[in-house]
Amino acid sequence: MIWLTWRQFRFSALTVFGVLGAVALALAHTGPRLSREYADLRAACGGASCHPEAFEDFFFSHLGVYLGLNALVIAVPAVVGVFWGAPLISREFETGTQDLVWQQSVPRRRWLAVKLGLVGLAAIAAAGLAVAAVSWWSRPFDATTIDGAGRMSPVLFDARGYAVLGRAAFAFALGAAAGLLIRRTVPAMAVTFAVVVAVQIVMPTMVRPHLATPARLETVITANNLNGVEASGPGGTVRGLQAGIGPPGAWILTNETVDSAGRTVDTLPAWVSDCTTPEAPSGEITQQQCLQRLAAAGYRQVVTYHPADRFWPFQAYETAIFGMLSLLLAGFCFLRIRPS
C-alpha cells in the first residue's frame, strides 16, 4: 500500500516540494544579506531607540517580495487541499479503479488510512517547509514594527507560526472528504477551493477576534497621537478621528471616537476639521486650540485590540480548531467507506 500510494502521489509531491525547495534555497542565499542590512540600519540609528520610520525605506524596497512570500505560505494549504486531497479518492471513483483496489487483500479502511496518513503528513510537511523558510527570511522585516505589519495582523498571522500546519491538515482532509462525497475530481477540487477560501476569510473576521477578550485603551486626542480626520460628503462632514494609540505590534480591532457619555459618534462638529495636522507652522496654534476644545467637550479616542503577546496563544487555539476539524473530516471518510 505504501508503494502504491507513492506511485500515485509522487509526481504532484515532487512538483510541490521541488518548488518549495527552490524557494527555500533562494531565501537561504539572500537571507543573510538582508539580516546584515537590517543590522547596519539599527546600528546607524541607535539600536533599540530607532524610530520605525528609520526602516521604512528598507521595508518598502522589498515589499513586493515580502508580500509574495507571505501569499505563498497562505496558498500552501489551499494547494494541498485542491491538488492532493480532492483527487485522493475521487480519482479512483472517476476512473473506476476503486472496485479493483477494494477487491485486493487490503481492507478498504486500511487502504484509506494509508492514503490519508502518508499524503496528509506530506501536506503538513510542505506547509512546515514553507512557513519555516519564509519566517526565517522575513525576520528583519517582521522586526521593523511598521504600523499594521505586526505578526498579529490578519495577513501575517496566517503566514506565520504552526497554525499553518493545522490549516494544511484541514484543507487536505476537506479535499479528501469532498472527493469521497462528490466522486468527481474537478467538482471536488472546486468545492475544496471555495471552502478553504471561505474559511480563510471567516477565521480572521469572525472567529479569531473572539478567541480572547480584546484589550481596551481610552485616551484624549493630542497632536502626538492624531493620525487624521475622517471627512466625507460635499460639505466635508467630519465622521471621526484616527489616532495612533495602540501598543506596538498590536492587532487593532476598532479605533473610534466617543463623546463625553462614552457613545461612539457618527459625526463630529464641523470645527473638528481644524484639528488636522497643519501644513504650515502657523497652523499649529489653530490645531492646538481645536484639540483643547475637543478635550473640553469630552471627546476621546477608544481603541480595542489584541496585544502582540497573544500571537502564540492564538496560534495554539487555531491549530487546535483546525486539528479537530481535520479529525472529524477523516472520521467521516472512515464512516463513509464501510468495511467490505
The CA-based dihedral angle spanning residues 212, 75, 123, 201, taken in that order and rounded to the nearest 10 degrees: 30
> What's the distance, CA 253 to chain centroid?
15
Classify 262 as helix, strand or coil: coil
Please report which confidence band the pLDDT of residue 235 belongs to, taking 50, 70 and 90 as the band edges.
low
pLDDT in tens, 88-132: 888 887 876 655 565 566 677 788 888 898 899 999 999 999 999
pLDDT at 4: 58
Contact (Cβ atoms closer than 8 angstroms) between residue 262 and residue 301: no
149 phi, psi to nearest 5 deg: -115, 20
* β partners of residue 254: 304
pLDDT in tens, 121-134: 999 999 999 999 99
pTM, two decimals, is: 0.86
Poorest-pLDDT segment among 116-125, 218-227, 254-263, 272-281: 272-281
Classify 228 as helix, strand or coil: strand
Contact (Cβ atoms closer than 8 angstroms) between residue 241 and residue 221: yes
Cβ-proximal residues to 167 (8 Å cutoff; 6+ apart), any chain: 77, 127, 158, 199, 200, 318, 322
How do the domains of the chain map onto residue ranges?
Answer: 2-211+309-336, 215-308
Distance CA 272, CA 288 (A): 11
